[in-house]
Structure 1
Amino acid sequence: MKLSLIKGLQLGAAMMCMAVIAHAQPQRVPQFNSPQVNPDNSVVFKFYAPAAKEVKLSTQFHQGAAPMTKDADGVWSVTLGPAKPDMYPYNFIVDGVSVADPKNSAIFPNEGFQSSIVEITGSTPLVHTLQNVPHGTVSYRYYNSSELGPRPVVIYTPPGYEKETSKKYPVLYLLHGTTDTEETWTKVGRANIILDNLIAQGKAVPMVVVMPYGRAYPKISKTSGSLRNWDNLQEIKKDFLDLLIPFVESNYRVKADNNNRAITGFSGGGGTSLFLGLNNPDLFRWVGGFAPGMLKEEFDRNNAVAFANSSTTNQRLKLFWIGVGRDDMLYPVITDYLKLLNDKGIKHETLISDGGHTWMNCKLYLSTLAQKLFK
């Protein structure tokens, strides 16, 4: 065979190999950022899905799911707003399936849905905005239950805790919503940033904040409904009183008396906080609920100790506080509960806000209640 023919065959084979390799390589994904917050507080959302037939954007600052438009590169986009400065969950709905934003590392910790978080700061710092003030420490800890196994808990210690080694602090137990996790209060509710800012402004007493996981899993299934499910309440009561409080008081410099313990929570966790707080006045003298989950037929059962003697309840509690939004799905039943408290003469404070069953309201409620605690 002539040399020129051999070289020709080799060149042809090489070109075929290159074509096969090029064909096997995945399509290059266009580079873009999502979300992009504009100076006017509008937000651009983008999602890469070249094969999708339909993509929509769902967020709590826009009514209904917003259709997105696909460009020639397979990138879907939509611009929404301007929005009121706050932090908002959002997700894409891709051919009917809800997914978080793969371009955004700010994920909403939740066992029931997949969402991301967009922060719109605006021109004026909000109570949950990261500011140039002394910051506390957020620690991820575990305590062990013989029945439930390792139990996660996130604990905030205020600025100066590590240096002022002889000082003891009051403690707030802060419970999450039904499908949330122990991380939701810091990553969505910004509890640590709120306390940093309020403490720096002299508006809140320096305190330790304990944010436990509220589901008695695996004993109680994650599909069993609200955290204030009666079976879950019984298991969490044992876990909370016998394990969590002793763990905190053995490992942190906290004041171990009911004058210096507070408990509150959101939604299902709010129902749990009322159940634990009102029925254990020897442990808690500061009790709150943020749109607390409850049913009318559970009022007497879940408030048995508090309802048994209104005068004694009023003497024991330094503060009983409830916040709820007018558009909250729980507003009607909480209104009935507040009426019952009035009828029984049980003292309480309320904040009826705008908005619904959202973590935007949770930040408002926490920042309001935190300024009242331990004073």
Structure 2
Amino acid sequence: MKKLVVVAALCLMGMAAHAQQNLSWGQGPQVASPDIHADNSVTFNLIAPDAKKVQITGDMLPTKKVEFAGNTYDTPGIVDLVKNDKGVWSFTTEPLKPELYTYNMIVDGVKIIDPLNVYNIRDINNLFSVLLIGGDQRTDLYKVNKVAHGTVSKVWYESPTAGLTRRLTVYTPAGYETSGKDYPVFYLLHGIGGDENAWSELGRATQIMDNLIAQGKAEPMILVMTNGNISQEACPGETSEGFKVPTMMLPKTMEGSFETAFPDVVKFIEKTYRVKKDKAHRAIAGLSMGGFHSLFISINNPDMFGYVGLFSAAVDQQQPNGGFPNIYADRNAKIDKLFSKNPKLFWIGIGKTDFLIKNNNDLRAYLDSKKHKYTYMETDGGHIWRNWRIYLSEFTPLLFK
């Protein structure tokens, strides 16, 4: 028996040693990446002794302008890492402003995620490493703080109009399960190529909602994050199509099908959840394509939403050969009808260097010509998640007051 105990102990020690070995970074130098310093500068490291060239690209770097399809876009810059005598490549930034940053390494021309950073986010068909630098009131909204938390659910619903069973991400505020109360609803839409996960993952929407509600800055509400690609059941990899490669080039994009099917979403939510079922307690907003959808859903259903938000909206980008041209016909007359019914809020936000700013300025010029009241926010930067998180944080406290 004694011999058995000794053997068992040795086996356990061996297993522990093996586990520790698996948890280590191997026999080479042990470094961290990203390494955030006290002054908010960040060092990125990569162990690649055989690499010829290592670079980093991300939105913590100065942007550069790129021309594509007649538009000018801000894209992240690229800088070289420097290798030391141990085969570790490194780069240290200037002190960074508080923000959620995404980045990639580029090793001998191949873009990869940071192998030393376990935190990654998918955006369409790209995978990014991510880091969060807090320290100001805005970015603290993006953190999981010690406040009461809502519930986030992936919910399937039938869309007779689309002919599909489709999925939503639904946030219910803390206390929903036990309060017995009815709540207002905010429908939040993503951009082209995104899906029902985009706002909760890239947009930090659920953290923003938790924190704004806990601070008393926003009314407790249900947040419904749709999949705006009406040809999809749900996000890539989580449908009956299996592990299909994500793409922006999807059927039925911005040609009227999604707007036509949207009432199916509202009917499902109002049948399934305890909600207030009137215009004064419904809001809709979206980024880019989602802002385009929000505009046309609201003006084609002028009695449905009391609050409308356009975040870098892709206005005037509809497909010319769409299946539902009447959705986009007579836009200005429909806008006039919406405003004749006195929406409580019509909100527009866009970046100064966004490639869609002219389209948004043209829309604003029309609103001004008709003396339609709206709220406008212009921020630095272009067509980026950094701005869309700001717009969500600014728009939400204005709802249902």
- Alignment TM class, shorter chain as reference: 0.7 to 0.9
- TM-score normalised over the length of structure 1: 0.82
> Would the alpha carbon gap of residues 162 and 120 (structure 1) be closer, same or farther in structure 2, given more than 3 Å must change?
same
Cα distance in 1 for residues equivalent to 2:373 and 2:136: 39
Residues 240, 284 of structure 1: alpha-carbon distance in 2 compared, 3 angstrom cutoff: same
Distance in 2, matches of 1:28 and 1:188, equals 35
Distance of aligned partners of 1:41 and 1:225 in 2 relative to their CA distance in 1, 3 Å threshold: same
- Cα deviation, residue 301, structure 1: 7.2
Q: Quick check: 1:177–1:227 contact (8 Å CA) kept in 2?
A: no
- Show structure 1 runs of 5+ residues with no match: 1-26
Amino acid at match of 1:245: V
Shift, 1:267, TM fit:
1.3
The residue that corresponds to 1:319 in the other structure is 345
Does structure 2 retain, via aligned residues, the 8 Å contact 1:136–1:159?
Answer: yes
- Aligned-pair RMSD on alpha carbons? 3.0
Q: Percent identity?
A: 40
CA drift at 1:284: 1.5
Deviation per residue, 1:149-174 (Å, 9 max, x gap): 4423211111111120x201001111
Where 2:142 maps in the other structure, the secondary structure is coil
Q: List per-residue Cα deviations over 1:236-265 (Å, max 9, x = no partner).
A: 2244222x2222222211112222111101
TM-score by length of 2: 0.77
Residue 78 (structure 2) aligns with: 65
Letter of the 2:168 counterpart: V
- 2:172 aligns with 157
Q: Give 2:59's aligned amino acid.
A: Q
Once superposed, which parts of structure 1, at least 4 consecutive aligned residues long, lie more than 6 Å away? 296-302
Contact 2:121/2:201 (<8 A) preserved: yes
| Equivalent runs, 1:289-308 vs 2, <5 Å | 289-295=310-316, 304=329, 307-308=332-333
CA distance change for structure 1 residues 41 and 65 in 2, over 3 Å: closer, same or farther? same
Task: Tell me how far 1:60 sits from its aligned partner.
Answer: 1.1
Name the counterpart of 1:241: 263
Distance 1:145-1:100 versus aligned 2 partners, 3 A rule: farther
* Structure 1 residue 123, shift from structure 2 partner: 6.5
- Aligned equivalent of 2:70: none
Determine which of 102, 105, 123 is the counterpart of 2:115. 102
1:298 Cα deviation after fit? 8.0
1:277 aligns with 2:302: no
Larger Rg: 1
How far apart, CA to CA, are the structure 1 residues paired with 2:251 and 2:44? Answer: 33
Cα distance per residue 1:176-203 (max 9 Å; x no partner): 1213332221222111121222212221
Residue among 274, 280, 283 paired with 1:253: 274
Residue of 210, 213, 227 corresponding to 1:196 = 210
Distance of 2:52 and 2:395 partners within structure 1: 47
| Distance of aligned partners of 1:226 and 1:332 in 2 relative to their CA distance in 1, 3 Å threshold | farther
1:17 maps to: none
- Alignment partner, residue 24 of structure 1: none
Q: Distance in 1 between matches of 2:39 and 2:55?
A: 22
* 1:310 Cα offset (Å): 5.5
For 1:352, give the aligned amino acid: E
Alignment of 1:112-261 (within 5 A): 112-122=125-135, 126-145=140-159, 149-164=164-179, 166-218=180-232, 223=247, 225=249, 229-231=253-255, 233-234=256-257, 236-242=258-264, 244-261=265-282
**C-alpha offsets along residues 123-157 of structure 1, whole Å, 9 cap, x if unaligned?**
66633233222121112222245756442321111
Q: How many residues align?
A: 346
